Chain A
Amino acid sequence: MIDQIDLSMVDWARAQFALTAIYHWLFVPLTLGLSFIVAIMETIYVRTGNPEWKKITKFWMILFGINFAIGIATGIILEFQFGTNWSNYSWFVGDIFGAPLAIEGIMAFFLESTFIAIMFFGWNKVSKGFHLASSWLTAIGANLSALWILVANAWMQNPIGMEFNPDTARNEMVNFWEILFSPMAVNKFLHTVSNGYVIASLFVIGISAWFLLNKRHVLTAKRSILVAAIFGIITSMFLTFTGDGSAYTVAQKQPMKLAAMEGLYEGKAGAGLVAFGILNPSRNPGDGEDPFLMKIEVPRLLSILGYRDANAFVPGVDNIINGGFKPWFKNIPDEEREMTYSVAQKIERGKLAISALRDYKTASKAGDTILATISKKNLEENFAYFGYGYLNKPESVIPNVQLTFYSFHLMVMLGIYFILLFIVVLYFLNHGTIEKQRWLLWAALWTIPLGYLASQAGWVVAEVGRQPWVIQDLLPTIAAVSMVESASVKTTFWIFAALFTALLIAEVMIMVRQIKIGPNDGGQK
């Protein structure tokens, strides 16, 4: 057997992760948001005692349940996939990454699964108050589970709170709180869950709009729109705010991702933000061509958003490859900032770190303490570039710029559109004429898929934009996999693709039927 990683296995493992994550993320955001919307509706029911609100609550709860089940089905694969397809990753960072997954189970999943049973089966078995509490606890449980997995994801993008231990050949946690409260983690969590709230609001408004278009369940629909539009507008503000926070942390920690998001090849001070643009598909790193066929730019905005300074230098793809610039830190004077290395130099230092690890381990085993000490020092000095050592050419650090750029811009444009939609919906609802605005109702209905599109685009930015890194700078995708034949991964890929597609079709068909049945019968057959 040739001792060489099977590169097609790496591709299939990535494809499988992308597939399962995309499917999982078709269901989770609705769970995150709809759980709160249902809890709010039930709270109104309990406070007013009005049975109409109970009917409304029950109707949305049925849809919540259908969606929840398939979210679980697609989620379990993701957890175990870290082991099955990404075995080296699991060891290299398992000491840090495993903890949030375990906490997620203990703290969040049990809360969710215990109280969802009460939510669905407890209407006549427990008191009103206990039932309401169960609905809220289910929502909190769902959102807590998002917290822990997103903390884990953020840590991969910005590995902190750990140290590499050469004896165990892995990274070990040294500061739990630093990991939990890193700005990357906080922003990622808040941005992602508020995205779920917006999707759920769009979902409730869209379906209610359909009822209004068909002149059915008018009262239920209008009340649902009211709750969802207010929830939507508040959470959109939050989404915008945390989106800005996310971009800011990306600028600090993942400048290459930011460059790809903006199609920025040659960086500059006072860089503008591309509001709309078409990339030049033949632009290659370092060829000096114009990266855009056309663009509309807001001057200096990228510097302001990324570095909170209109004059800040934003490095482009070419700058990062070539190095030789000083990263911008607002409060640190120019002379104290260090010049960045080129990627070629980083690769060299990464290889030094890896060979120092080998020397250290060999020397320790042989009892050569002097060589072990020297090697360990070498390793520590170069460890920041450890992952670069597995790369062969500098261009490997460039993610797919086209995909990242268009996904980012699509997400932002849709996000702005959603805010406008919420405002217009609230305006007409307030004027009591929403049933007459058929154009608006149709727009609201067709915005449901756009919500999902924006959300998936956001994940594409986050995950494609950080390639080739599984752990930023420390572990590239190619070094993170398991030693499994690519045929096996390919087979499971197609099994899951077929299964998830069938389940998605089933889910949509069931959902559509339940919506057609409507709230009057509590949604049951």
Chain B
Amino acid sequence: MSLLSLQHYWWMIISLLASLLVFLMFVQGGQTLIYTLGKTETERKIIVNTLGRKWEFTFTTLVTFGGAFFASFPLFYSTSFGGAYWIWMIILFAFVIQAIAYEFRTKPNNFLGQRTFEIFLFINGALGTILIGAAVSTFFTGSEFVVNKLNLTNLANPIISRWQGPAYGLEAVLNWRNIDLGLTLFFLARVLGILYILNSVDNDAIAKRSHKQLWLNAIPFLIFFLAYVFALMINKGFAVEPETGRIYMEPYKYWHNLIEMPVVAILFVVGVLLVLFGIIRPLHKFNTCSSQGIWFAGPGTVLTIFALFLLAGFNNTAYYPSTIDLQSSLTIMNSSSSHYTLTAMSYVSLMVPFVLAYIIYAWWSLNRKKITEEEMEEGGHAY
């Protein structure tokens, strides 16, 4: 395969991992609703255990997303992580505290107390989603950095990627569009969390509250989402001249991307419709199998986010733009690994379907039966 095809292939893998990650953030969304949906200790236990059996998938997807991004587009890794330092550090912090919260929450003698670990879960759910959303939004709105490979020959300061943003990444939250995407992700994760709980828990009280919360979260999600998409379509975007690699501002760039890549447009529209259908289905009060919403909203989320990432990187677009030095912007062409590495990694990526297959099988094995109060009281392993 040519280098260009490999770069496109790897951008698709990155986009796929990102979209799976967003879907799996139902865990984070659910974590912000433990006390809203669970009013008794047992109900909260049911919710925590429902989410707790899946948290590692989200976490692992995040770690793999990071690793795959490093392997395929290392200049992004060095520029963004080494520059937007604080936003990434806070995100990491939010995930560190998640990793022990489930396991330690109800263990006797746990030092910090059950409530602390529940607060950890809430912080992870809120900060994790909002800040990841804000960080990803800079793929469209841009950041302030300069990349100069000649710096490597400057003995006093050989650093190639130099961040110019005043707050090392935290300045991203000053742009309303970034915050908008952060909140979109936050409410989407909550919607997905509710749908997942409806699907996996057999408890009337929780189901009733979930239905109510579905409305309350679906509406802000839709408002923030539509506002973001609208702003994206009418704003200028960061275009690349394919022959020279020169980067320039193009009005309606992302709208153009959408109409110039009809397949992506279809994925996007179908994705959005599936999410809407997944939300409406359980809300329809005559619906007898209202727990199936996640089966539509989940794949819908994957398609939508996948399409959004393709809009950011395909069709001669700079996916990680620099607003202060346009020519420093990262494109899938100028930031990728070598032909050899991308090829080697492509062989590795052939394992992905196999991995997905065993995940689905294991998931199905554990989810065949809904989680009930009785199971929580049986005394098996529980969080």
Contacts and interface: CB of A to CB of B under 8 A. Distances in A.
Interface string A57-68: 000001001101
Contact of B362 (A85, A115, A507): A115
Given A114-B358, A169-B152, A66 B103 contact: yes
Nearest to B76: A83
A123 B380 contact: yes
B262 interface: no
Contacts of B337: 94-95, 98-99, 172-173
Contacts of B163: 483-484
Contacts of B358: 111, 114
B351 A361 contact: no
Contacts of B159: 5, 87-88, 481-483
B341 interface: yes
Contacts of B368: 125
Contacts of B82: 83-88, 90, 482-484
B109 A169 contact: no
Contacts of A110: 60, 64, 355, 359
Interface stretch (A69-77, A274-282, A318-326, A329-337): A69-77
Contacts of A481: 159
Interface in B81-119: 81-83, 85-86, 88-89, 92-93, 95-100, 102-104, 106-112
A499 B65 CA distance: 25
Interface string A283-323: 00000000000000000000000000000000000000000
A23 to B, nearest CB: 11
A355 B150 CA distance: 10
A165 interface: yes
Contact of B110 (A82, A99, A351, A510): A510
A109 B157 contact: no
A25 interface: no
Interface in A148-194: 165, 168-170, 172-174, 176
Nearest to A504: B111
Interface string B343-355: 0110011011001
A96 B341 contact: yes
A95 B111 contact: no
Nearest to B152: A169
Contact of B92 (A4, A80, A107, A390): A80
Given A70-B99, A96-B341, A355-B153, A109 B64 contact: yes
B79 interface: yes
A217 interface: no
A351 B66 CA distance: 34
B71 interface: yes
Contacts of A62: 381
Interface in A1-48: 3-5
A327 interface: no
A524 interface: yes
A77 to B, nearest CB: 6
A319 to B, nearest CB: 27
B80 interface: yes
A479 B355 CA distance: 38
A495 B68 CA distance: 27
Contacts of B65: 105
Contacts of A69: 99-100, 102-104
A238 interface: no
B75 A165 contact: no
A76 B99 contact: yes
A106 B349 contact: yes
Contacts of B154: 3
A98 B365 contact: no
A446 interface: no
B270 interface: no
Interface in A223-246: none
A422 interface: no
A118 B110 contact: no
Interface in A342-358: 351, 354-355, 357-358
A92 B162 CA distance: 15
B338 interface: yes
A110 B103 CA distance: 18
Contacts of B291: none
B67 interface: yes
Nearest to A70: B100
A82 B80 CA distance: 11
Contacts of A106: 64, 67-68, 348-349, 351-352, 355
Contact of B152 (A77, A82, A357, A514): A357
Interface in B18-64: 53-54, 56-57, 59-60, 62-64
B110 A94 contact: no
A366 B379 CA distance: 74
A506 B112 contact: yes
Nearest to A177: B344
A149 to B, nearest CB: 10
A124 interface: yes
B348 A488 contact: no
B175 interface: no
A92 B337 CA distance: 11
B161 interface: yes
B156 interface: yes
5 contacts: A174-B340, A390-B158, A481-B159, A483-B161, A483-B162
Interface of A: 3-5, 62, 65-66, 68-70, 72-77, 79-80, 82-92, 94-99, 101-107, 109-118, 120-126, 130, 134, 165, 168-170, 172-174, 176, 351, 354-355, 357-358, 361-362, 389-390, 479, 481-485, 488, 492, 495-496, 499, 502-503, 505-507, 509-510, 512-514, 517, 522, 524-525
Given A88-B160, A354-B152, A485-B168, 16 more contacts: A69-B103, A73-B99, A82-B81, A85-B82, A87-B81, A88-B78, A90-B81, A99-B337, A102-B64, A106-B355, A118-B366, A121-B53, A172-B337, A174-B340, A495-B93, A506-B112
Interface of B: 53-54, 56-57, 59-60, 62-68, 70-72, 74-75, 77-83, 85-86, 88-89, 92-93, 95-100, 102-104, 106-112, 149-150, 152-163, 168, 337-338, 340-341, 344-345, 348-349, 351-352, 355, 358-359, 362, 365-366, 368-369, 379-382
- Across chains A and B, which 8 residue pairs bring their CB atoms closest together, nearest first? A87-B82, A83-B81, A94-B74, A105-B64, A482-B82, A98-B71, A73-B99, A98-B70
